[in-house]
């Protein structure tokens, strides 16, 4: 499984908005500059997040974006599933019950289930707030005497 740039950038956008949440709306150009992402590509990603209700937006000169809810409400898995679709390592795990003709006799199915469980266990237990906390811990060690 490989996460696309869209998925990675979506997580970075959510983190950026959480880190810079002052109550004011944040402009796309500011996020793009901080994250080194083109504004055009960033707008596509923000559109996906906004339509899903992960963000609030305001148009106009004072407009921009804010994270819609507290950062601890959003898991990395939520953001990745929104932008990537299924995180299953094989297509036969995308449906429940499994529609594969071989699922009853497949010797490898348990491996794919275990891998899927491991992926989901990680991405569903790390929140945007966890990333904010990691960021703040890293900054606290970045000082000069």
Q: How far is residue 96's CA from residue 35's CA, in Å, rounded to a whole number? A: 38
- According to DSSP, the residues that pair with 130 across neighbouring strands are none
| Tens digit of each residue's pLDDT (9 = 90 or more) over 5-50 | 999 999 999 999 999 999 999 999 999 999 999 999 999 999 999 9
Annotated domain spans of the chain: 5-140
- Give the CATH class of 5-140: mainly alpha
pLDDT tens for residues 59-115? 988 889 999 999 999 999 999 999 999 999 988 888 888 888 888 889 999 999 999
Whether the pLDDT of residue 141 is over 80: the answer is no
Which tokens hold the place of 138?
């890293």
How far does CA 29 lie from the centroid of its chain? 20
> Which among 17, 15, 11, 13 is positioned nearest to 123, based on CA atoms?
11
Strand-pair partners of 127: 75
| Full-model pTM | 0.89
Output the six-digit token pair for 12.
């970075």
């Amino acid at each position: 499984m490989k996460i696309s740039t869209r998925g990675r950038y979506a997580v970075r956008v959510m983190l950026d908005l959480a880190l810079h949440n002052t109550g004011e709306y944040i402009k796309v150009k500011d996020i793009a500059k901080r994250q080194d992402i083109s504004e055009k590509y960033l707008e596509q990603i923000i559109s996906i997040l906004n339509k899903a209700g992960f963000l609030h937006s305001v148009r106009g000169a004072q407009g921009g974006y804010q994270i819609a809810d507290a950062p601890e409400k959003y898991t990395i898995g939520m953001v990745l599933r929104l932008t990537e679709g299924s995180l299953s390592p094989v297509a036969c795990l995308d449906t429940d019950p499994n529609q594969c003709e071989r699922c009853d006799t497949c010797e490898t199915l348990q491996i794919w289930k275990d891998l899927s469980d491991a992926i989901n266990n990680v991405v569903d237990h790390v929140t945007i707030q966890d990333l904010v906390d990691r960021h703040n811990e890293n900054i606290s060690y970045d000082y000069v005497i």
